[in-house]
Structure 1
């Protein structure tokens, strides 16, 4: 099971445990109607929604320990996305179960049981008032959360607008957290361990939210840089950045780069060798408006800001043989690794490198593969059939322990991975989809 699946299952299990500890006796008791069970569903869905919102906030911190737990920042982005979707679904169900039964009672379709009278008439009313305020705030937060998720999932909405709207999420989280804490004030949950779980996670999530609001996430990993060299090659640019401070990285990792006065950074794989941490090479293909503008406007001497390194696509494996597959611009992480191996006199582990592109062999690739002792296979997709799972399977002996590293179009990677179900085969890939 993937690491992010384990993290998701653990989060759901923690939500269930947090709910069941104080409510177990209520669930086991006999009930005359379904109304008390509806209340329990409201509590459970609310805890689940808030727990996954907390997970989304923690993932946004981009901490090394989080990368290790999810298998890389790119996998963390996938989990972040699904945490938002699960939080939205559970939150909407929580909201609907809160208002629909009341509306049905108003219509006379169901009978709502009378609320128990308060015996402690002299007790303070502030917990109830706080809970009511928190509920009103949370209701509006749900509306905003729905809008945020729609903007995040609709790919046709520009990425710049998505990034801008996404910055509102910490405020939504803080609003829902206020609701969660104030609801506890009128329950007996404070007498159980569940209250400690909620308070601790609320503190961590709130810290993450404030760090996001004040743009402190990734601050310690940022480096100022200058464009030292730039080369144009048809629809690609080869950029060398000189950083003020060294950025120690491993081959296959990536960084967020913001050039000049760009409002938002973009992730690019580092194509240079880790031996010189102050000189970072990025090979960027002009695919969208932002990268096309770089292609036409970026000049030597321009400033840049680099944040990183990130990712676990680092060729670390116990496999007896490695197979690399690059599609087009997906060659960049392999360029870094090839440089390292060439400097060391060649790879000891057998490596087959399949490069698939429309324009033949990139300049210098054959030479550096020879120096790195890597067997190169080139497929010109403008004239040949694209590499498929059958061709790749034929290159692997039955039961052979092989590690496959793929970088290229997502659809290409999925088609290869679906055909390689052998447990002895490791499949490594990065996903740069931030939505």
Structure 2
């Protein structure tokens, strides 16, 4: 369901903008010769690039009203990535269409027809748009080069996250430059055609979102501050439990949600799943695995009493499904939303059968003990899959333990490759797409 929803939304954005552009063209717009057709395509590729980039910028501002429609903020970022790549593709097409004929002519690879003579523009006093056309074209070209470089860095997984985050902060400024570029250079008649009002609305909303990002106001109303109350490092799996005591208002959260956490240091906020249920006591627990450059150093850098800012909660990993039973699969630190759910069930009770599979290569007895205790207390069947001993959890091994798995809603949180493999195997065996729920959270 979530993948269908995302692909449908993405296709609607691309096809919808392309359709509005086509409706805005004159009937013979693509049959008026080489140069006229090229000009039409230059405008078309440009408005499509900026329109899709506008939607991506709006999503980056984390508007909560889209969360339910898209299935959670983790889906925002997947869609944001797709929109960014599509926008870049149209931007490249725009650049090539603009520069390509001159390159081909200079290289002698293609006989470009001579440009038809056109009437000279008669100056009738000061015209701001006319005076700004040349600087708008120049600055737009340099913004494109920078956009290309930043997208390449975002896609390069080995580029450190902390530097990616800092370079990505340039995106709103680049977007505003491209808005200026488009508003000055686009044919004014476009604003009176079907595409015009939609594009104008997207540019205004995108500009507002970009300004919110530039002034670091994203999620401002959803921030709470507090301090570190407890720290516990599990040596066996290198998971750090960080308990935070909030000192300002927190709206509460549901099991499976996450928050952005800033530990009052030089790094920016990072997203972590909340591994505690909300008891209206001001306490939040995060179980953080030392996987990257930043998280591996947290155990040595954090201390009791240290200031923390938490933004959230976000996410729709809410354990709501149509089936009478559920299967939870947590890969590594992906078990954290299920720990939160166990803690919630310990207070509210449970009636439907649940099987929890915890797949890990480094089981730590101290980390496992409270999970086992909670599972026993709530009646959840707990299955530990030790990858260092028994190998990886597969559909075949899961079927042995839960033969009627096809009757369940499956909730998965863990490494992307593991999730893709499990989902593909289950769907191939007949599980409806709507009953496989997976976290898609990737910041890049």
Aligned ranges for residues 177-196 of structure 1 at < 5 Å? 177-184=179-186, 186-196=187-197
- TM-fit CA distance, 1:174: 0.7
Is the alpha carbon distance of 1:34 and 1:401 closer, same or farther for their aligned partners in structure 2, counting shifts above 3 Å?
farther
Matched-pair contact (CA < 8 Å) for 2:230–2:243: yes
Q: Distance in 1 between matches of 2:126 and 2:251?
A: 57
Structure 2 residue 216 is matched with structure 1 residue 242:
no
Tell me the secondary structure at the aligned position of residue 147 of structure 1.
Answer: helix
Matched-pair contact (CA < 8 Å) for 1:267–1:432: no
Aligned ranges for residues 301-316 of structure 1 at < 5 Å? 301-316=305-320
Report what 2:131 is aligned to.
129
Report what 1:210 is aligned to.
211
Report what 2:442 is aligned to.
433
Pick 1 or 2: higher relative contact order, CA cutoff 8 A, min separation 6.
2
Report what 1:84 is aligned to.
84
Is the alpha carbon distance of 1:268 and 1:200 closer, same or farther for their aligned partners in structure 2, counting shifts above 3 Å?
same
Is the alpha carbon distance of 1:242 and 1:50 closer, same or farther for their aligned partners in structure 2, counting shifts above 3 Å?
same
Q: Distance in 1 between matches of 2:232 and 2:141?
A: 53
Tell me the secondary structure at the aligned position of residue 259 of structure 2.
Answer: strand
Q: 1:155 aligns with which of 149, 154, 157?
A: 157
Q: Distance in 2 between matches of 1:284 and 1:432?
A: 15
Tell me the secondary structure at the aligned position of residue 299 of structure 1.
Answer: coil
5+ unaligned residues in a row in structure 1: which ranges? none
Tell me the secondary structure at the aligned position of residue 358 of structure 2.
Answer: strand
Tell me the secondary structure at the aligned position of residue 226 of structure 2.
Answer: strand
5+ unaligned residues in a row in structure 2: which ranges? none
Matched-pair contact (CA < 8 Å) for 2:327–2:405: no
Q: Distance in 2 between matches of 1:119 and 1:291?
A: 60
Tell me the secondary structure at the aligned position of residue 188 of structure 1.
Answer: helix
Q: Distance in 2 between matches of 1:364 and 1:318?
A: 29
Report what 1:145 is aligned to.
147
Structure 2 residue 394 is matched with structure 1 residue 385:
no
Report what 1:200 is aligned to.
201
Q: 1:324 aligns with which of 318, 324, 328?
A: 328
Q: Distance in 2 between matches of 1:41 and 1:355?
A: 53
Q: Distance in 1 between matches of 2:103 and 2:292?
A: 49
Matched-pair contact (CA < 8 Å) for 1:321–1:350: yes
Tell me the secondary structure at the aligned position of residue 353 of structure 1.
Answer: strand
- Aligned alpha-carbon RMSD (Å): 2.2
Q: Distance in 2 between matches of 1:24 and 1:9?
A: 25
Aligned ranges for residues 4-83 of structure 1 at < 5 Å? 4-27=6-29, 30-31=31-32, 33-83=33-83
Structure 2 residue 302 is matched with structure 1 residue 294:
no
Is the alpha carbon distance of 1:126 and 1:107 closer, same or farther for their aligned partners in structure 2, counting shifts above 3 Å?
farther
Give the count of matched residue pairs.
431
Report what 1:267 is aligned to.
271
Report what 2:227 is aligned to.
226
Q: 1:251 aligns with which of 255, 270, 273?
A: 255
Q: Distance in 1 between matches of 2:206 and 2:131?
A: 24
- TM-fit CA distance, 1:336: 0.8
Query: Deviation string for 1:118-147 (max 9, x for gaps)?
Result: 586758654333333322221111001011
Q: Distance in 1 between matches of 2:281 and 2:210?
A: 32
67-76 vs 200-209, greater mean Cα deviation:
67-76
Report what 1:171 is aligned to.
173
115-124 vs 136-145, greater mean Cα deviation:
115-124
Report what 1:111 is aligned to.
113
Query: Normalised by the size of structure 1, how large is the TM-score?
Result: 0.93
Matched-pair contact (CA < 8 Å) for 1:253–1:270: yes
121-130 vs 238-247, greater mean Cα deviation:
121-130
Matched-pair contact (CA < 8 Å) for 1:270–1:336: yes
Q: Distance in 1 between matches of 2:166 and 2:302?
A: 24
Is the alpha carbon distance of 1:276 and 1:169 closer, same or farther for their aligned partners in structure 2, counting shifts above 3 Å?
same
Q: Distance in 1 between matches of 2:106 and 2:125?
A: 30
Matched-pair contact (CA < 8 Å) for 2:175–2:210: yes
- TM-fit CA distance, 1:386: 1.6
Q: Distance in 2 between matches of 1:290 and 1:332?
A: 19
- TM-fit CA distance, 1:431: 2.9
Report what 2:284 is aligned to.
280
Query: Normalised by the size of structure 2, how large is the TM-score?
Result: 0.91
Is the alpha carbon distance of 1:385 and 1:263 closer, same or farther for their aligned partners in structure 2, counting shifts above 3 Å?
closer
Structure 2 residue 378 is matched with structure 1 residue 350:
no
Matched-pair contact (CA < 8 Å) for 1:231–1:238: yes
Q: Distance in 1 between matches of 2:232 and 2:15?
A: 52
